[in-house]
Structure 1
Amino acid sequence: MLTQVKTPQEIFFNPQRLLVPLFQRPYVWSQEGQWAPLWDDIRRVAGRVERHEQATPHFLGAVVLQQQQTEIGTLGVRTIIDGQQRLTTLQLFLDAVHDRVQTAGFENLAKQVLGLVQNPVYFTNTKEDEFKVWPTNRDRAAFNEVMSAPTPVDYTALKAASSRMALAHKFFSGEIGAWLEEGDSETRATALVQTISNYLQIVVIDLQVDEDAQEIFETLNARGTPLTAADLIKNFVFQRLEASPAESEKAYRKYWEEFETPFWEKEVSAGRILYSRSSLFLTQWLVSKTLKDVPAREVFSQFKHHVTDASTPVDALLPKVRESAGIYRDFTEGAAVADGPLNRVNMFVYRTATLDSEVVKPLLLWLLDPELAKIPGPQLNLALVSLESWLVRRAFVRGSTKAYNRFIVDMMKIASAAPRETAGTTIRDTLARQDSPNTYWPGDAEIRRELKTLPIYRRFARGRLRMVLEAIEDHRRGFDQRSPLDVQRVVRGACTIEHVMPQEWRAFWPGAEIDEQGVLRDDTIQTLGNLTLITQALNSKVSNGAWEGEKGKKKSFSKFTTLLLTRQVCEEGEKDWDDERIHARTVSMIDDILQIWPVPVGHFGVIAGTSELATYRVTVSELVRAGLLSPGQDLFARVVAKRGERCQISEDGGIFLGEERFETLSAAARAVTGNQSEGGWWFWLVDMESDRCLSDVRQDYLESLNADAAVQEELQES
């Protein structure tokens, strides 16, 4: 290994090809992150050279190159092990300099720069030999097009005008051109070329053919734009693929290229953290294979250990990963289809996604693993029904999620030790045996007790609540008991959640503030029995209007009788809709829920009160410190009569109505309405368009505490 400090001229002047391996990630640098800072640094140095001030060299970072064996008489080739983003950007910049200097008429200066981006024609045998740097195959067309474009470059005529390659070239060209025109063009052009030649420095680590490039790559990968787990794994796999370049490229296209498509590059959340879908899949796949809880920061190292311990050649590993990825994509895309039939796997993925339960994906991959014996359909269905019931019921009682990662892994170990033909029974029985507050499976009695008075509209995120109502609608259409031929499932994620008795009930809906059972009506209207689905949102006047009459709510609901949930409301509220009917409908809907998400016969769960609920008392100041609210942010009154009223939040959690300060949200709400029973967390909205209230923000915070607690435990144990 030879380490030297070199200028771009020393790196690029000799005829050569610096080759980006096909398995490295594509070009990802951006204007804000890297292009603009690079230009600012170069312009600052060039300005000193122009003014004949003492200019010190500017350090641009380090690159790692590895020599490749080539035939005598051909161009020398080095593989870029690390630093492809930096070297590619420099080539785009140098070509933009050449373009601008030549356009300005300074031919000799332009020729000096041209020799740093193109090899002399008498050294080239193929088109690929033309340029000093040759990017990974995904970027080659865009790179070749912009670098080969005639001077001055017409960016609008480029086929890949929106590519990062073209945008980088265009950015540099524009900035260089503007800077040259702001002063004496020839002086500035000369200073710029001198800066490139003498005042930029890069540490070049040159590896011999037989040196281990992977170790250097892993050490340096944290610089610049961080590499994902998928990037690191790809580099590791293809570095160790014992194949010719042509065979490596064939394997890349067959087994890995799809991971660099929009589906796999999409960022998805797991907890509060965003991952590329490819990285998340590889993590979940690895958990399913190793039966170990793999923290995100250890995915790559654990992957290497798995490959080494299993003694699996990478050429045999790639097809296995690709096959599992196909299964993962099928159920992910299947679950996203809004209309039409869903198989049990896709429905499981859809429903658990609304619960933000990525944690179950490793177990799902294990159940569907094509390398293992196929699990019989009834047993697979039993496993999914049991898991879904466990997750949904724990969500209803607001059970802690902080132990889920380890518990899912433990359950996979138990299921792996039992025959796969009984996997569903094993998983169901394992769930039923749990007696820990963090993992127990709530029984029917606890669910009835919890949902009977739970203000679920305030406690559940809208997506989760809609999923529950959709499940009840499907259940009433005959799904879960049979496969109806004459009806379809409700369109998923499309219906609007509507309060039957409106939240602004006082104007048109007779009734006391407190019903005969001593329950506040403002709480009753947030319970399950007062909620329904409609196929399109009602306007606010109808939504908050009276029950009876030509323009009443019942008449409007009658237009949506294809939904059995809404038809029931119209039938049961033929003459009126009141607290008693809400309570009765809540009980009826709970009956449906217990059938949709059943527990084994005779299962009671733990004794009520032993579950660890998310009952942490949240203050407004905590939400400000967590970044979920901002000092000075406006909050808006929910009630129609006071819709224009707003308050502001102070940094210490105070609530201000004008100059008057209140210590609690409820106190501020009561000051607005005069109603002494006003609940502030529900009353104040952060977004009037979506009716998102502070209760929703508080719930997000509580869920994040569970996720953070799990991370903290993990750090303490490691």
Structure 2
Amino acid sequence: MDAHKAIITNIFNNSTLIEVPFFQRSYVWKADLWARMIEDMEYIVKTNKPHFFGSIILKEGRRPHPGENFTDCRTIVDGQQRLTTFLLFMKVLCLKLGQSTTFDCQFRIMGQSIALRHGRNDIEAFERVMASTSADKIDNPAPQSRIIEAYNYFVDHIDENKLNIMMVMMNAQFVRIDLNADEDEQQIFNTINSLGVNLTTSELLKNYFFSRDTISEYEAKWASVFEKDDDAKSYWDTEIETGRMKRAIIDIFFDSFFQIFIQDKRYNISNDDKIMYARVDSLAQSYQHFIDHYCGGDKSVILSQMKDYALCFRTIFNPDTCGVSVPGTFGIERLNIIIFGLKTSTLIPYTLYIAKNVYSEDERNAMYGILESYIMRRMVVHSLTKNYNNLFTSLIRNEVLDSASLVAKLHSGNDATTYIPTNEELLDGFQKSKLTNLQTRGILYLIESYIRPANSATLLLGFDGYSLEHLMPKKWRNNWSACASDEIAKQRDSKLLTLGNLAIIPQALNASIRDSDWTTKKSGKGANKPGLEACAKGLVTLNAVLLEDEWTEEKIDARAKWLHEIAETLWNIQP
């Protein structure tokens, strides 16, 4: 076995054929990993620094058949997904830049056959995209190929103006592991991928900050917070979804704490270092770099504030909030629903900054309400979220610590990535936006908690206690009256996924009830198959709906307007 660092030109060298085993599983990467690939490539070009893409295990392969033009053959043991994605990315990038010759010279054997040969599941689709002569999307008929889906994703999302082919090829690094023909690739694969345990950011930082000679400092500043008892350990070890990955809360804390720290203008951090510090996959290294380059190696700069921020973090951030009732007034409980229930973790650093530095509870709650209003307005109109990180770190950098300044700052954003939607746009969103089930559930839940009477006879459940229901079912053609024309039917279909036709209920309806006619859907089919009147009892967002003798497109529009009127008042951000 031979393991060494390699760039892509050391793997595809114009004379080596890399083969995916013929019966190997299909290509399976999805949009989250394709997006990550683009981000990593743009990072390489921004910084012109090497970036590690993982390991590639190659085993000595067969000899060439007569007429084949390669001199060496390697079989992929591990790395099929990343090498395939890399070639798809490079193919689209070269086409967009008009540099197909560069691609062919590097990734074809003697400029002819492609140097990566897939197995039976993907070979046809892979060779089809490799034969493309323009950066246009390719038809992907059923059964759809994930290879073509990835190629089309890159056609849509690669911005060639942010990329440079040579920088990518010279800085994309792998660990290449070559096996001889007689080595056991299964044993080596299992050893590399299963026996080791990855070190978390917090483990790396603990070893960096403390040593055998600083036990007392470790006990005072680390163990007393993160390892105090079983409850503390359980809290900090809890994993939550943040974007495309799951991360332990302790690692999220260290990321948030660091993002607050590096916004301090006293350190005058360079733009290149800010780009590096924003990456969560090298956070421990970023801490060390920051301390070495901006703090003169003095770790106490971080340690002096770490404990207080960590204690504050645990006090305000609680994923379990999604399982309990939240108040109708603005506060950290509702913001926890947005952060953990609606997976808007980009709010965490600025929210922590507010919690630690704003001493008036009323002012903190006012600021939490502004953040809720901002996020939810943009969610209703389906606005982009990609610049949230930049926005919220800018609020920290500019020391925005009162509600008036926060409102003014948010209203100063004029571009599509940060602006506050108007009331007219909000109405349009309630009438037309087709959101994810999670987003819709969050919008309706926060409205329900706001308008729910304090003396309600039924208890508001936690966010996780509700499911989403289509009032007019998606399969309305089965049991609902037919439309007079195809055009009217299409108009009806266009309203099914809008907010006016959606409701939160605490108990999912039986399938036979869900698609029934309106009368049956309301009343159910006996005790074992209850309808909306039983399952949604006490929900204010459904009170008026359950009084309707019929449910039509006009009723959907009317409910959308009613919800909008409430949202306009609830999520009001006055300049």
**Following TM superposition, by how much is the alpha carbon of 1:495 offset from its aligned partner in structure 2, in angstroms?**
1.8
TM-score by length of 2: 0.56
Q: Secondary structure at the match of 1:532?
A: strand
**Following TM superposition, by how much is the alpha carbon of 1:513 offset from its aligned partner in structure 2, in angstroms?**
6.0
**Following TM superposition, by how much is the alpha carbon of 1:274 offset from its aligned partner in structure 2, in angstroms?**
3.0
| Number of corresponding residues | 359
Which of 279, 282, 285 aligns to 2:251? It is: 279
Note if 1:442 corresponds to 2:446.
Answer: no
Deviations 1:248-307 (CA, angstroms, capped at 9, x unpaired)? 556653244259823322333322133332122101111112216632144223323555
Deviations 1:56-112 (CA, angstroms, capped at 9, x unpaired)? xxxxxxxxxxxxxxxxxxxxxxxxxxxxxxxxxxxxxxxxxxxxxxxxxxxxxxxxx
> What are the within-5 Å matches in structure 2 for residues 510-525 of structure 1?
510-512=481-483, 520-525=491-496
- In structure 1, the residue matched to 2:56 is none
Q: Secondary structure at the match of 1:497?
A: strand
Which of 348, 351, 360 aligns to 2:335? It is: 348
- In structure 2, the residue matched to 1:556 is 531
Note if 1:403 corresponds to 2:379.
Answer: no
Asked if structure 1 preserves the Cα contact closer than 8 Å seen for 2:513 and 2:521, the reply is no
Note if 1:569 corresponds to 2:545.
Answer: yes
TM-score by length of 1: 0.45
**Following TM superposition, by how much is the alpha carbon of 1:487 offset from its aligned partner in structure 2, in angstroms?**
7.3
Asked if structure 2 preserves the Cα contact closer than 8 Å seen for 1:270 and 1:358, the reply is yes
Which of 261, 271, 274 aligns to 1:289? It is: 261
Q: Whole-Å Cα distance in 1 between the matches of residues 422 and 521 of structure 2? A: 44
Asked if structure 2 preserves the Cα contact closer than 8 Å seen for 1:467 and 1:493, the reply is no
Q: 1:505 to 1:518 in 2, by over 3 A?
A: closer
**Following TM superposition, by how much is the alpha carbon of 1:440 offset from its aligned partner in structure 2, in angstroms?**
1.2
Q: Secondary structure at the match of 1:379?
A: helix
Note if 1:326 corresponds to 2:311.
Answer: yes
Residue 303 of structure 1 aligns with an amino acid whose one-letter code is Y
Q: 1:305 to 1:487 in 2, by over 3 A?
A: farther
Q: Whole-Å Cα distance in 2 between the matches of residues 545 and 412 of structure 1? A: 52
Q: Secondary structure at the match of 2:478?
A: coil
Residue 322 of structure 1 aligns with an amino acid whose one-letter code is K
Asked if structure 2 preserves the Cα contact closer than 8 Å seen for 1:255 and 1:318, the reply is no
**Following TM superposition, by how much is the alpha carbon of 1:484 offset from its aligned partner in structure 2, in angstroms?**
6.6
Asked if structure 1 preserves the Cα contact closer than 8 Å seen for 2:322 and 2:337, the reply is no
Note if 1:264 corresponds to 2:243.
Answer: no
**Following TM superposition, by how much is the alpha carbon of 1:437 offset from its aligned partner in structure 2, in angstroms?**
1.6
Q: Whole-Å Cα distance in 2 between the matches of residues 440 and 307 of structure 1? A: 36
- In structure 1, the residue matched to 2:377 is 393
Q: What RMSD, in angstroms, separates the aligned Cα atoms of the two structures?
A: 3.3
Q: Whole-Å Cα distance in 1 between the matches of residues 336 and 365 of structure 2? A: 13
Asked if structure 2 preserves the Cα contact closer than 8 Å seen for 1:530 and 1:582, the reply is yes
**Following TM superposition, by how much is the alpha carbon of 1:385 offset from its aligned partner in structure 2, in angstroms?**
1.8
Which of 328, 335, 339 aligns to 2:324? It is: 339
Deviations 1:172-211 (CA, angstroms, capped at 9, x unpaired)? xxxxxxxxxxxxxxxxxxxxxxxxxxxxxxxxxxxxxxxx
Which of 537, 543, 559 aligns to 1:585? It is: 559
Q: Whole-Å Cα distance in 2 between the matches of residues 511 and 303 of structure 1? A: 64
Q: Whole-Å Cα distance in 2 between the matches of residues 410 and 551 of structure 1? A: 49
Identity %: 21
Deviations 1:524-570 (CA, angstroms, capped at 9, x unpaired)? 22221222222212211122222226984598322233111222111
- In structure 2, the residue matched to 1:476 is 451
**Following TM superposition, by how much is the alpha carbon of 1:516 offset from its aligned partner in structure 2, in angstroms?**
9.4
Asked if structure 2 preserves the Cα contact closer than 8 Å seen for 1:546 and 1:553, the reply is no
- In structure 1, the residue matched to 2:77 is none
- In structure 2, the residue matched to 1:616 is none
Deviations 1:224-259 (CA, angstroms, capped at 9, x unpaired)? 5442221221111103x864x566556653244259
Where does structure 1 lack aligned partners over 5 or more consecutive residues?
1-222, 602-718
Q: Whole-Å Cα distance in 2 between the matches of residues 391 and 551 of structure 1? A: 33
Where does structure 2 lack aligned partners over 5 or more consecutive residues?
1-194, 264-273
Q: Whole-Å Cα distance in 1 between the matches of residues 459 and 519 of structure 2? A: 31
Residue 452 of structure 2 aligns with an amino acid whose one-letter code is R
Note if 1:303 corresponds to 2:287.
Answer: yes
Q: Whole-Å Cα distance in 1 between the matches of residues 430 and 217 of structure 2? A: 60
- In structure 2, the residue matched to 1:453 is 432
Q: Secondary structure at the match of 2:247?
A: strand
Asked if structure 1 preserves the Cα contact closer than 8 Å seen for 2:383 and 2:416, the reply is yes
Q: Whole-Å Cα distance in 1 between the matches of residues 498 and 336 of structure 2? A: 26
Note if 1:376 corresponds to 2:360.
Answer: yes
Higher RCO (CA 8 Å, separation ≥ 6 residues): 2
Q: Whole-Å Cα distance in 2 between the matches of residues 381 and 320 of structure 1? A: 24
Residue 369 of structure 2 aligns with an amino acid whose one-letter code is V
Q: 1:512 to 1:367 in 2, by over 3 A?
A: same
Deviations 1:433-460 (CA, angstroms, capped at 9, x unpaired)? 1101211111111121232123x3xx31
Note if 1:508 corresponds to 2:479.
Answer: yes
**Following TM superposition, by how much is the alpha carbon of 1:490 offset from its aligned partner in structure 2, in angstroms?**
4.2
Which 4+ residue blocks in structure 1 deviate beyond 6 angstroms? 483-487, 515-518
Q: Whole-Å Cα distance in 2 between the matches of residues 546 and 537 of structure 1? A: 17
**Following TM superposition, by how much is the alpha carbon of 1:339 offset from its aligned partner in structure 2, in angstroms?**
2.5
Q: 1:278 to 1:376 in 2, by over 3 A?
A: same
Q: Secondary structure at the match of 1:548?
A: helix
Residue 313 of structure 2 aligns with an amino acid whose one-letter code is Y
Q: Whole-Å Cα distance in 1 between the matches of residues 416 and 432 of structure 2? A: 22
Q: Whole-Å Cα distance in 1 between the matches of residues 559 and 569 of structure 2? A: 16
Rg comparison, structure with higher value: 1
Q: 1:465 to 1:334 in 2, by over 3 A?
A: same
Asked if structure 2 preserves the Cα contact closer than 8 Å seen for 1:258 and 1:264, the reply is no
Q: Whole-Å Cα distance in 2 between the matches of residues 378 and 551 of structure 1? A: 42
- In structure 1, the residue matched to 2:161 is none
Q: Whole-Å Cα distance in 1 between the matches of residues 245 and 216 of structure 2? A: 38
Q: Whole-Å Cα distance in 1 between the matches of residues 260 and 551 of structure 2? A: 51
Deviations 1:648-669 (CA, angstroms, capped at 9, x unpaired)? xxxxxxxxxxxxxxxxxxxxxx
Asked if structure 1 preserves the Cα contact closer than 8 Å seen for 2:380 and 2:443, the reply is no
Residue 440 of structure 1 aligns with an amino acid whose one-letter code is Y
Deviations 1:101-158 (CA, angstroms, capped at 9, x unpaired)? xxxxxxxxxxxxxxxxxxxxxxxxxxxxxxxxxxxxxxxxxxxxxxxxxxxxxxxxxx
More deviation in 427-436 or 404-413? 404-413
Residue 542 of structure 2 aligns with an amino acid whose one-letter code is T
- In structure 1, the residue matched to 2:465 is 494
Asked if structure 2 preserves the Cα contact closer than 8 Å seen for 1:443 and 1:599, the reply is no
- In structure 1, the residue matched to 2:439 is 464
- In structure 1, the residue matched to 2:344 is 357
Q: 1:447 to 1:517 in 2, by over 3 A?
A: farther
Residue 579 of structure 1 aligns with an amino acid whose one-letter code is E
Asked if structure 2 preserves the Cα contact closer than 8 Å seen for 1:389 and 1:598, the reply is yes
Asked if structure 2 preserves the Cα contact closer than 8 Å seen for 1:558 and 1:567, the reply is no
Q: Whole-Å Cα distance in 1 between the matches of residues 301 and 385 of structure 2? A: 37
Q: Whole-Å Cα distance in 2 between the matches of residues 486 and 552 of structure 1? A: 21
Residue 506 of structure 2 aligns with an amino acid whose one-letter code is T
